[in-house]
Amino acid sequence: MLLSRLVAGMLSVGLVVPGAGVVYGQDYPNKTIRIVTATAGGGSDFTSRIIAQGISGPLGQPVVVDNRTVLLAGEHVSKAPPDGYTLTVMGGSSLILPLLQKKATYDAVRDFAPISLLVRTVNIVAVHPSLPVKSVKELIALAKARPGALNYSSSTVGASSHLGAELFKSMASVNIVHVPYKGTGASVTALISGEVQLTINDVGFIAPHVKSGRLRALAVTSDQPSVLAPGLPTVAASGVPGYEMTGWTGMAAPAKTPGAIINRLHQEIVRVLNQPEVKEKYFISGVETVGSSPEQFAATMKSELTKWSKVIESAGIKPD
C-alpha cells in the first residue's frame, strides 16, 4: 500500500519510476534528429528536406537530412536505436529492395515503425509520337499483333517504371521487351529519341514532354483520374480493369519506437503537410500530399509488398 502511494505521488509530479508504466518520450526531443534517405536530388530527398524544415521549429531541435543509397539508408535505420532520433523517408523502392538484392538484410515491414504516408504520385503511360496508337486499347492491340516487337524503358531494374510495366504486361497479356536505363531521365530521353517505343514513368518527367509534343500520353496509372495529369483516363478504364500503380513516399522510424514518439512526429508532420504553401511545392514537383495515420501507412506497406512480390515472381525478376 505504501509503495503504491509512493509511485502514484511520484507520477503525479512527473517523476520517472522504472517499470511503473509511465509514458515514454515525454521529454522528446532533446537533441538533433536525423532523417536518413536516398541520394541527394531525388524525390525522397526533396520530400525529406521540406519535412525537416517544417518540423524542426515546433520540435525545438535541429532536423538534418542524411543522404545515403536506398540500401544503406534502409540498413542503417533498421538497426538504429528506437528512440526517435533516427528516422527514414522511404519510397516503394525501399520496401521491395530486399526482394531484389541478396545483400539487403532488412525487412521494411518488420524492421520499421510507420509514421505517415507523406506524398503520392502517378505514372503516365507514354509513347513516342511515331507509334500509331492514341489509347491504351490501341497499344494493347498493336502489342498483340506484334509480340516482342515493342520495347519499353525503365529507370532501372525493380523501379516503379519497371514493375508497373510488368504488371501491365501481365494484366493485358502482351509481350513487350524491357530495356533498363540508369535513371529516370535517361529512360525518358531514350523514348524521346525513339530508342524505345513506350514507358510507364513518373508524371513529373513525362508531363513537360507531352506538353511540348515530344511524347504522347495515353493514361495514368492511378485507380482514379489524377489532378497531376488532368484530362487523362486511367489504365483501368482504358482496357485493363483493376490495374493500379501509385508511387508513394512515407516516413518511418526503427521498429519498437515508443508510440508517444510516433504520435508526436505524426502530429507535426501532418501539420506541415496541411500548409497550403507546402501542398503547392509538392504539387509543382508532381506529387500530392497525403498525411495518413501510422496505421494507414502500415496497411499500405503490407499491401504494396504483397502486390509487388507477386509481380516480381511472375516476371521472373531474380535478386542480384
Domain chopping of the chain, boundaries: 30-121+247-314, 127-246
pLDDT value at position 183?
86
Q: Where are the beta strands (DSSP E) in 270-320?
A: 288-289
What is the CATH architecture assignment of 30-121+247-314? 3-Layer(aba) Sandwich (3.40)
Calpha distance 5→3 (Å, rounded): 5
Work out the angle at residue 282's Cα, subtended by the Cα atoms of residues 179 and 54, and round it to the nearest 5 degrees. 130
SS3 for 112? strand
Query: Position of cell 502489342?
Result: 143
Question: What class, spelled out in words, does domain 127-246 have in CATH?
Answer: alpha beta
pTM: 0.85
CB atoms within 10 A of CB 149: 12
Domains 30-121+247-314 and 127-246 share a fold: yes
Q: Helices 184-193 and 203-212 sit at what angle, rounded to 10 degrees?
A: 30
SS3 for 29? coil
Q: Nearest to residue 22, comparing CAs of 13, 33, 30?
A: 13
- Tens of pLDDT along the chain (320 residues) come to 333 433 344 333 333 333 333 344 578 999 999 999 988 888 899 999 999 999 999 999 999 999 999 899 999 999 999 999 999 999 998 999 999 988 899 999 999 999 999 999 999 999 999 999 999 999 999 999 999 999 999 988 888 999 999 999 999 999 999 999 988 899 999 999 999 999 999 999 999 999 999 999 999 999 999 999 999 999 999 999 999 999 999 999 999 999 999 999 999 999 999 999 999 999 999 999 999 999 999 999 999 999 999 999 999 988 77
